[in-house]
Each structure stands twice: as C-alpha cells, then as structure tokens.
A and B are shown apart, each in its own frame.
Chain A
Amino acid sequence: MLKKKSLFRILIISLGTWIVFSYIILPLRLEGQSMEPNYPDGGFRFCWLQKYFFLEPEHGDVVAIRFAGKRVVLLKRIVALAGETVEFRNGILFVNNQRVEEPYVRYRSNWNLPSRQVARGRVYVVGDNRGISMHRHHFGQVDMQRILGGVLW
C-alpha cells in the first residue's frame, strides 16, 4: 500500500517537474559577454516562458530568443517595438529620433547604424555590452514568435 503511494508521489512530482520546466520556466546557464555586466558569463537565470502570453513586450525587457530549439538561446534586451525607428550615433541609442538613456549599459564603443524601422510583429533587440565591436555583436529585429519568454531577474 505504501509502495503504491510512493510510486504515485514520484509520478506526480516527475510530471509536475516536466510541466514546470517545459512550459513555465526554462533554466539558463549564461555563456558569452554580450549582456555583461548585468548578466555575466557563467551566471544562471530563469526564463518565464509564458510572459508574453499575458503581457506585451516593453522597452528594457530582457528576453530569450530561440534558434532551432530551446537548448541554445540568445539573451538580449528589447530596445524598440514594432513601428519605431532605431539608430545608433557614436554608440548612443536613438529610438524615434529621441536619445534613450540606458543605465544598464556600462561598456560602450563607437557604434554607428543608420535609422531603420522595426517591422510589424517584430521587436529590436541589442545586448547590454556595447564595448564589443558592432560586427561581432548579434543584434537586430527579431520575430516575436522567436521570443521564448522574459528573463525573471
């Protein structure tokens, strides 16, 4: 009788764990410097997979972007939403031609990028570490469908 109960508990815990880590939160081990110093190389975070099911994306949200699946993801910050224009002038971000204060950016270099508009259904994402050369930094507009969720903290 006790054995049956224990087996049932194990089954429920396993099922619960599987549901939580498949559909609710995704553990992330950080690698790379593109989000430093706020998300350092070797750090550990959780991604809330259902965040954009309930909420609309906002400026400053840190999101996980998927490639072919969920095992390797990119961590980036949303700097502009659909319909807005994005531009870099000497490392300073301009959205809709307005200078954006970015307290989370500690390292900056001389990035220059002509103005462009974010397409419908997309958001513009950039890493926090702008000390990296622009050519080596993954950034740009991405389909909302590629966004797995928001980073919890």
Chain B
Amino acid sequence: MVTSKHLFFISILLCLVVVLGLYLFPSKEKRVKKQLNNLTEYASKKRNEPTLKTLTKTTRISGLFAENCILKISNPKIEGNYSRKEIMDRVNRVRNSFSRLKVSFYDITIHFTSDTSSVVLLTMRLLGKSKAEEFTDVQEVKLKMQEIRGKWLISGIELVDILER
C-alpha cells in the first residue's frame, strides 16, 4: 500500500537521481563551459606566483588545446597552424610578461556545428600588471573546439577585430 509518506520519499529519491545524473553526465554545453572556466583559472596569475605553480598551470593549459591549433590574430599579424607546444610557448611568453594577470570571459555563446565540434564566441577581458604599468584589454574571441577522446579541446583561436584603423 502506497502512502503519502512513501510518495514523498519516492519524489525526493527521483530528484536526487536527476541531480546526480546531471552532475555525472553534464550536457555538452556545460562541458565546454567547464573547459573555458579552467582556461581562465589556469591563465590567470597572482603576484609572486611560485615556479612550481607556474609549471603546473602551464601543463594544465596545454591539456586544453588540441594537437594542432589554428591561430588568427591581425595585430600583430599571426596566422597559421601551430602545434600544442608552439601555442604553449606563446601562452608562457604572455604570462611571463605580467607580474599578475586576471583573465575573464563574458557573454559566452556556444554553437554546436556537429556532435563533436563547436564554435564559441565570447568577450575576453585581461586585467593585469606588466612590468611597472597597469594593463587592461578587451577582445572578442572566436574559439573552435572539438571533442577529442571525451574532452572538448581548443582547435582554433581568432581575435575578432571590431575596430578597423
């Protein structure tokens, strides 16, 4: 005989199953967003970052990129296919030029072009200190991401020029 007490517990259990299911099997969009969150976390840098942490973050950033990545930046002009190591060297050079850096993403739009590829449009904001001066910059960025061996990896980066001199 099913009582209201039973019904209450069954509904609680169902809710828990749904929450657990969403946690264990996140949607594609959530998995892409998680990778982007990881990127902002690893790319950001606090003052006097220990060398070991820098190395850990570098390794983790490299894990977010595909083996080959297409870069398209107009100023300075950089366009072509770069290996994961080349991308890492560039990321490191940029990070090393800052004593502290905060990277944030806003207005993220994810468009899935197929089951295993997506195009992400976002606003990237950099706030930091390079040498002696404060640095602020904002860019619109278009990322191409692909699902490779269960992970959404960045396979293309384009800085969108909204102002043309």
Q: Does A95 contact B (CB under 8 A)?
A: no
Q: Which of A8-16, A54-62, A135-143 contacts B (4 or more CB under 8 A)?
A: A135-143
A59 to B140: give the CA distance in the assembly, Å: 26
Q: Which residues of B contact A125 (CB under 8 A)?
A: 163
Select one of A71, A113, A139 contacting B123, CB under 8 A.
Answer: A71
Q: Nearest-CB distance from A6 to chain B (Å)?
A: 30
Select one of B121, B136, B163, B165 contacting A68, CB under 8 A.
Answer: B121
Q: Nearest-CB distance from B130 to chain A (Å)?
A: 11
Is B164's CB under 8 angstroms from A68's CB? Answer: no
> Size of chain B's interface in residues, with CB distance under 8 A?
17
Q: Does B64 contact A (CB under 8 A)?
A: no
> Size of chain A's interface in residues, with CB distance under 8 A?
20
Q: Nearest-CB distance from A57 to chain B (Å)?
A: 15
Is A71's CB under 8 angstroms from B106's CB? Answer: yes
Sample 25 A-B pairs with CB under 8 A, ordered by A number.
A31-B136, A65-B163, A67-B123, A67-B139, A67-B140, A67-B162, A68-B121, A68-B123, A68-B140, A68-B141, A70-B107, A71-B107, A71-B123, A72-B125, A74-B162, A74-B163, A116-B165, A125-B163, A138-B163, A139-B163, A139-B165, A140-B163, A141-B164, A141-B165, A142-B164
Other CB < 8 Å A-B pairs besides A74-B162, A113-B165, A143-B162, 17 of them? A32-B136, A67-B107, A68-B122, A69-B109, A71-B107, A71-B123, A72-B138, A74-B138, A74-B163, A116-B165, A138-B138, A140-B163, A140-B164, A141-B163, A142-B162, A142-B164, A146-B162
Interface residues of B (CB under 8 A from A): 106-109, 121-123, 125, 136, 138-141, 162-165
